[in-house]
């Protein structure tokens, strides 16, 4: 955000910062002699052979509900070529064909990560869109371009908004494919991930970063390795590709922590929950919390004076005097193999040439133990009940066994080309059938608390036992969700 090199203006006339609508509008007005140059907005210009920053405009930035829909109508979109990245599943997805770009929100709802430029407006000024507005824009862009793929390029999409977007997509019957950047929030439950997939979500990307609980706390990421693993599992089991941003050389990171982080990543790939990732070397940026308090993070900033152009990354020294570059090749090579389902049996320290690299301290079953833990949680009455399957007419029959007889209800459920036969005792089964019938097709006007109350009002006993029985667990795989 500092610029003094006049040579930039051999190639352009203006350089704008942050949101572009008002700066570009003001430039257009200036060119058309409707505005003085000193009234431009967040714009660098060349005057008298010196670069000047002008911010005299009094116009506020355009709010999300007023930005409008991108107009692609004059672009020959079919004439562009795709250059494919083939080794990384997510990079291939991003480059294979064209994706319409949108944002669910301006800025980042979390806004705490210490490596991020959280003081800049494009991060700090958080303003979400609405699901209805997003679907309106998606429908308009689809009509313009004939393309139904969307990539939401937010820093991190807030969990509530993808949920509402998915419901609105389903309600409108839009046929789309979409992906988004996320944080691995606990909110992304098994059921929510199933809903996102049903609406057309095919991939998400998010930061596991250093894969160390100590360092994740130092980053102020707000997640743990355990939480990331469980949420990754939810997405993957729902059929959504997960790409994780990985980081090494973070300030205060030790050699042991680097090796242990690779072991965490290896175990996630070996468990089948993670399919794509990319290692980034930590970069110190001017507007990050780390740059403002370098001593707190065990670094010293060597760059004392600003350069003439693009002052973003800073030169710094790691006071631990660890050469993190020694890990670059081994991290990349191991990840390449993991993404192809190879070399999981190789001990992680052997990916590095140095004989002094320690073995991992992480238990070899650390991730599997997390994934295999009991997943039954107390029922919370607040979620909405959603069902995307279809019911057949039911039938009643009497089952006799050892001189005892009982009446059963049986019906077929269909979801995504699959079907399953459900058989329950008449009273509880008929109650469930009526509830499913009322919400089939994605209707969302019923809360789980309504079900719990009505279950008791009908004289039926032990809702918890009914909720966690085998027929109900089968329904979870056939479009029933508590969101």
* Domain residue limits, the chain: 6-54, 84-371, 385-482
* Mean pLDDT, residues 28-47: 97
Please give the class, per CATH, of domain 84-371: alpha beta
pLDDT at 467: 85
Q: Is 72 left (phi over 0), alpha (psi -120 to 50) or beta?
A: alpha
Where is 16: in which H helix or E strand? strand 15-16
Joined together, the tokens standing for residue 385 give: 């009940």
Q: Is the pLDDT of residue 4 over 70?
A: yes
* Mean pLDDT, residues 424-451: 89
pLDDT at 241: 98
Where is 299: in which H helix or E strand? strand 299-301
* Helix 255-270 × helix 328-339 angle, to 10°: 10
* Mean pLDDT, residues 131-149: 96
Q: How far apart are CA 260 and CA 65, in angstroms?
A: 45
Pairing of β 100-102 and β 404-415? unpaired
pLDDT digits (tens, 9 = 90+) for 296-340: 999 999 876 777 887 788 889 988 889 999 999 999 999 999 999
pLDDT digits (tens, 9 = 90+) for 224-253: 999 999 999 999 999 999 999 999 999 999
pLDDT at 12: 96
* Summary mean pLDDT of the chain: 92
Q: Is the pLDDT of residue 378 over 70?
A: no
Contacts of 430 (CB under 8 A, 6+ apart): 394, 409
Q: How far apart are CA 199 and CA 196, in angstroms?
A: 5
Three-class HEC string of 214-228: HHHHHHCCCCCHHHH
Joined together, the tokens standing for residue 224 give: 């743990």
Q: How far apart are CA 416 and CA 198, in angstroms?
A: 9
pTM of the model: 0.92
List of E strands, 168-296: 177-181, 201-209, 241-248, 276-281
């Amino acid at each position: 955000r500092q610029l003094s090199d006049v040579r930039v203006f051999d190639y352009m006339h203006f350089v704008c910062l942050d949101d572009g609508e008002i700066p570009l509008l003001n430039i257009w007005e200036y060119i058309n002699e409707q505005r003085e140059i000193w009234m431009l907005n967040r714009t660098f210009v060349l005057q008298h052979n010196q670069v000047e920053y002008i911010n005299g405009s009094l116009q506020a930035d355009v709010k999300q509900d007023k930005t409008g829909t991108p107009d692609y109508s004059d672009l020959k979109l079919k004439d562009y070529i795709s250059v494919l990245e083939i080794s990384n599943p997510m990079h291939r997805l991003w480059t294979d064909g064209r994706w319409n770009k949108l944002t669910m929100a301006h800025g980042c709802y979390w806004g705490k990560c210490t490596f991020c430029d959280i003081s800049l407006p494009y991060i700090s000024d958080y303003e979400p869109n609405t699901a209805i507005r997003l679907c309106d824009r998606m429908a308009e862009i689809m009509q313009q371009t004939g393309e139904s793929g969307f990539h939401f390029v937010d820093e991190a999409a807030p969990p509530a908004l993808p949920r509402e977007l998915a419901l609105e997509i389903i309600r409108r019957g839009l046929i789309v494919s979409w992906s988004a950047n996320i944080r691995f929030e606990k909110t992304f439950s098994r059921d929510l991930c199933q809903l996102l997939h049903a609406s057309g979500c095919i991939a998400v990307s998010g930061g596991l970063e250093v894969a160390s609980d100590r360092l994740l706390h130092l980053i102020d990421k707000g997640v743990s390795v355990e939480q990331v693993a469980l949420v990754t599992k939810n997405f993957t089991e729902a059929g959504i590709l997960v790409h994780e941003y990985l980081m090494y050389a973070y300030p205060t990171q030790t050699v042991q922590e680097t090796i242990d982080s690779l072991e965490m990543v290896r175990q996630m790939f070996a468990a089948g929950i993670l399919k794509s990732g990319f290692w980034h070397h930590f970069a110190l940026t001017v507007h990050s919390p780390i740059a403002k308090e370098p001593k707190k993070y065990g670094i010293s900033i060597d760059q004392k004076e600003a350069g003439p152009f693009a002052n973003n990354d800073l030169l710094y020294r790691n006071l631990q005097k660890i050469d993190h570059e020694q890990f670059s090749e081994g991290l990349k090579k191991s990840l390449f193999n993991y993404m192809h389902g190879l070399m999981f049996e190789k001990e992680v320290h052997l990916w590095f040439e140095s004989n002094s690299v320690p073995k991992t301290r992480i238990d070899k079953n650390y991730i599997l133990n997390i994934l295999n833990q009991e997943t039954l949680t107390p029922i919370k009455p607040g979620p909405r009940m959603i069902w995307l399957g279809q019911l057949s007419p039911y039938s009643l029959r009497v089952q006799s066994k050892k001189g005892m007889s009982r009446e059963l209800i049986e019906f077929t459920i269909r979801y995504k080309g699959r079907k399953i036969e459900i058989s329950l005792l008449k009273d509880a089964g008929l109650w469930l059938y009526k509830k499913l019938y009322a919400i089939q097709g994605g209707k969302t006007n019923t809360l789980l608390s309504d079900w719990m109350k009505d279950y008791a009002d009908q004289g039926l006993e032990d809702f918890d036992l009914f909720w966690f029985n085998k027929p109900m667990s089968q329904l979870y795989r056939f479009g029933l969700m508590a969101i």
